Amino acid sequence: MSEPKVFRLPDLGEGLTEAELVNWLVSVGDEIRVDQPIAEVETAKSMVEVPSPYAGTVAVLHGEPGQTLDVGKPLISVMPVGAVGANSTAAVDESAAAVAAEVYREEEKAGSGNVLIGYGTPGGHGVARRSRAPKRPVAQVSEAEKAADDLLLMRTRVPGKLGAVISPLVRRMARDHGVDLGELQGSGTSGLIMRRDVEAAIKPARDTEEPEWRLAEPPGPASPAAGNTDARTGLGISARTPVRGVRKAVAANMSRSRSEIPEATVWVDVDATALVELRAALKKADPHDTPGLLAFIARFVTAGLKKFPELNTRIVTTEDTTGGASQEIVAFDGVNLGFAAQTDRGLMVPSVRNADKLSARELDAEIRRLTAVVREGKATPAELGSGSFTLNNYGVFGVDGSAAIINHPEVGILGVGRIIDKPWVVDGELAVRKVTELTLTFDHRVCDGGTAGGFLRFVADAIENPGSVLADL
């Protein structure tokens, strides 16, 4: 009899080591074809659909939405086309159960890091996900108990589909508390019995006695409401949100930026009246093909980086022949201009590749395209991780200034505040002008204040006198 083919979560680019399973696009028992999307996963970079390399019948879905899966761990098991006839569904059941049991044994030997029921197993990277200590070490589980677990798995299968219980921890929790799995209706995919189902079944017992598995928790306040109260403030806890996906990547990148980069900030107020009037005139002449103000500023930024290339660099640490570390400043032939875009999944920074070679209209079109892509969650790792300098238009949030954090490993970020009417002295006379604030945060290792100030002044002068600057670009 043919065995199911196990497809493992692939590296989705940029050396990412994990992804969150967002949604299954197939169910157990479905017939699928090669390259058919089977799941949506969210990495630290973007939301992607994972295609199947196999055709056949879905036998096992290794996970449920919300889980974080490690690269290289089982994602789906597929019974190849022609391997099972119409009257051989029992064989599919047995093979699927065997695959699940084998995955369990592999996890016990080395630890997978997968989160099957909200705990995780030893051997995964990062912070351990286990919230409660196990009743006893996995290594002490006898072969007889393993066999009993496997028999229980077979007894509680959904006919023609995935076994109703995959996780050995769920089965063991049920056995320790006398819960009959055959009487439970699973809330997971295809009737999969989850940890929450077993907990719901044993909940009445908690009102009269303290379950043994609860005694393994670290000691804490004795109050029954302690789990819903913050110990430091005494306030009730309204929600707990795991830091994962894009938010996890942003947090790690910002923390690294703060810890590694000795940054400094300079800023200047700018009279943007001439730029606003220039765009208004262009829009009057051609309402359908007028670049936005951000595109013009992006054009000035790329021109400024050509004059002050120190801000379009990266610091790289390498090992020398003696085993020590040395650093070098790597300069680039061209500018990949990143820009901050707010999405439902958090702040994203796609980059316009070779932005220094594009006109204001071309920059505007690419900025709009990339903004749409990241908001749909379809940006590629290359589009999100290849910037050499970042432009941040936080003025859209109605604020004037911000000491931004550099997008590591870049060495500079320019922020643009809102454009508002302010009193301004023009030719000795007080006038109302369109004023904005530019803020440059830079890595003090690659340049000093003179270079940073020169770049900032160049961009400011270009905004104040856009006609003369654009004529030279």
- Residues tagged active-site: 444
Asked if 406 contacts 232 with a C-beta cutoff of 8 angstroms, the reply is no
292 touches 364 (CB < 8 A): yes
Check if the beta carbon of residue 75 is closer than 8 Å to that of residue 62: yes
Q: Which residues pair with 229 in a beta bridge?
A: 236
Is residue 390 within 8 A of residue 410, CB to CB? The reply is yes
Contacts of 223 (CB under 8 A, 6+ apart): 229
The one-letter code for the residue type at 115 is: V
**Distance in angstroms (rounded) separating the CA atoms of residues 202 and 212:** 12
3-state helix, strand, coil in the chain (%, to 5): 35, 25, 40
Strand partners, 37: 51
Q: If you write DSSP's letter for every residue of 139-193 in order, what string do you get?
A: GG--HHHHHHHHHHHHHTBPTTSSBS---HHHHHHHHHTT--GGG----SGGGPP
Distance CA 136, CA 272 (A): 68
Dist CA 435 CA 445 (whole Å): 31
